Amino acid sequence: MAINFERALSAHSQAMQLRSRRAEILASNLANADTPNYRARDLDFKATLEGLQGREGALKTTHAGHLQARGDSAGRLLYRTPAQMAIDGNTVEEEQEKAAFADNAMRYQASVQFLGNRVRGLLSAIRGE
């Protein structure tokens, strides 16, 4: 039986790439915390990952007359809605950004561990252990 490495590893590698991209976005938000009129950005991780894996979360139409669903955010940067905007128009809330960055870093590390375990399992299967 052949082992399909792409199929076995793709979900974790895609998750790591998205986590890395999200870390850059969150770091940019933190770097611009004092920039007037800067609007904090983020991406919808779940929708983007589902889009990369071919599992679209958006509604599918079955007839040409059906209305298209709005709000498909897969892969697009979204603006954060702040609890309270600063006087200078900046929407970065440092504590929220730091918490999101820490959560993202923890989930990135988990993806690294999952990927490492998966590779070790595949190597064991190849060796016949």
Domain residues of the chain, as ranges?
5-127
Residue 18 pairs in a beta bridge with none
The predicted structure's pLDDT at residue 94: 94
The predicted structure's pLDDT at residue 92: 94
Write down the pTM of the prediction: 0.74
> In terms of pLDDT, which residue wins out, 94 or 12?
94
The predicted structure's pLDDT at residue 9: 74
pLDDT tens digits, 62-111: 666 655 555 555 568 889 888 887 899 999 999 999 999 999 999 999 99
pLDDT tens digits, 51-60: 777 655 455 6
